[in-house]
Amino acid sequence: MRKHSKEYLENLTPYQGYEILVEGNQRFVENLSVNHDHLELINQTREGQYPFAVILSCMDSRTSVELIFDQGLGDLFSIRIAGNIVNNDIIASIEYAVKYVGSKVLMVLGHTECGAIKSAKAGVEDGHITDLLKRIQPSISKAMLKDEHDHMFTDNVAYANVENSLEEILTRSSIVKDMFEKGEIGLVGGVYNIETGKVDFFKNLTKSKKKQQLAAKV
């Protein structure tokens, strides 16, 4: 079955999509990236796109999701904004990806040493940046309640910020919430370490094939 096809995407489970991301990051960390023939990928995707995942991440130049997860043209919807915050346009883009294209995984990816988080902590106010940083303040408050050993990387605000974005998407989008509750899509939260290249997939709300079978019997 051709990877960049509607049939491939329809037969892919959310858990399998999650596994593709995990395996891709492992290749990235080990510098074992597959050979992406970009010209061939252009040919394969010229008539349509069927990305298996939509990823909301920070605009930081070190966090390109196609590289971090070793994916090629047509594999991912990439939504990037400082601090991986959520707004109406981002939610609309996510809804388009999961409902109208069929992406099976919705991931929010934060990262260590995030400039937006540092600025929010410092109370920076300047132009439109002020309003954006206000969206991160709840994550700072939430992170203060967590032990620094709760996570793989000692950056609790980055983790809290990912959690808050996932929660906000579910709260504000009835489309995403409904598809998630039906098991049509999976949600994943991760934090990328800019020093090692490794992603901590700390929240995996997808079902393996075995769990799906058990759920069907209940």
CATH code, domain carrying 15 = 3.40.1050.10
Instruction: Judge whether 118 lies within some domain.
Output: no
Instruction: Judge whether 154 lies within some domain.
Output: no
Report the distance separating Cα 140 and Cα 144, nearest Å. Answer: 7
Report the distance separating Cα 158 and Cα 199, nearest Å. Answer: 12
For residue 204, pLDDT beyond 80 = yes
pLDDT of residue 217: 42
Burial of 182: CB neighbours in 10 Å, binned 0-12, 13-18, 19+: exposed
pLDDT of residue 214: 40
Burial 148-177 (b: 16+ CB within 10 A, else e): eeebebebbbbbbbbbbbbebbbeebebbe
Instruction: Judge whether 128 lies within some domain.
Output: no
pLDDT of residue 208: 59
Q: What is the mean pLDDT of the chain?
A: 90
For residue 5, pLDDT beyond 90 = no
- Give residue 214's identity as a one-letter amino acid code: L
What SS3 state is found at 149? helix
Which residues constitute the domain of residue 67? 6-110+167-217
Q: What residues are designated binding site?
A: 58, 60, 111, 114
- Least reliable range by pLDDT among 27-36, 92-101, 179-188: 27-36
Instruction: Judge whether 143 lies within some domain.
Output: no
Chain-centre distance for alpha carbon 66: 11
Instruction: Identify the bridge partners of residue 106 per DSSP, sorted by sequence position.
Output: 54, 187
Residues 104-132 have a mean pLDDT of: 96
What is the band of 218 on the pLDDT scale with cuts at 50, 70, 90?
A: very low
Instruction: Judge whether 173 lies within some domain.
Output: yes
Instruction: Judge whether 117 lies within some domain.
Output: no
Give 150-168 pLDDT, tens digit per residue. 777 778 999 999 999 999 9
Instruction: Judge whether 171 lies within some domain.
Output: yes
Q: What residues are designated binding site for Zn(2+)?
A: 58, 60, 111, 114
Residues 60-83 have a mean pLDDT of: 95
Give 21-66 pLDDT, tens digit per residue. 999 999 999 998 887 777 887 887 788 889 999 999 999 999 999 9
pTM, to two decimals: 0.90
Residues 169-191 have a mean pLDDT of: 97
Strands (E), the chain: 53-57, 76-80, 105-111, 186-192, 199-205
pLDDT of residue 80: 98
Q: What percent of the chain has pLDDT over 70?
A: 92
Other CB atoms within a 10 A radius of the CB of residue 116 amount to 23
What is the band of 91 on the pLDDT scale with cuts at 50, 70, 90?
A: very high
**Contacts of residue 183, Cβ cutoff 8 Å, sequence gap at least 6:** 14, 207, 212, 215
Instruction: Judge whether 99 lies within some domain.
Output: yes
For residue 142, pLDDT beyond 70 = yes
More confident position, 149 or 26 = 26
pLDDT of residue 37: 77
State how many domains the chain has: 1
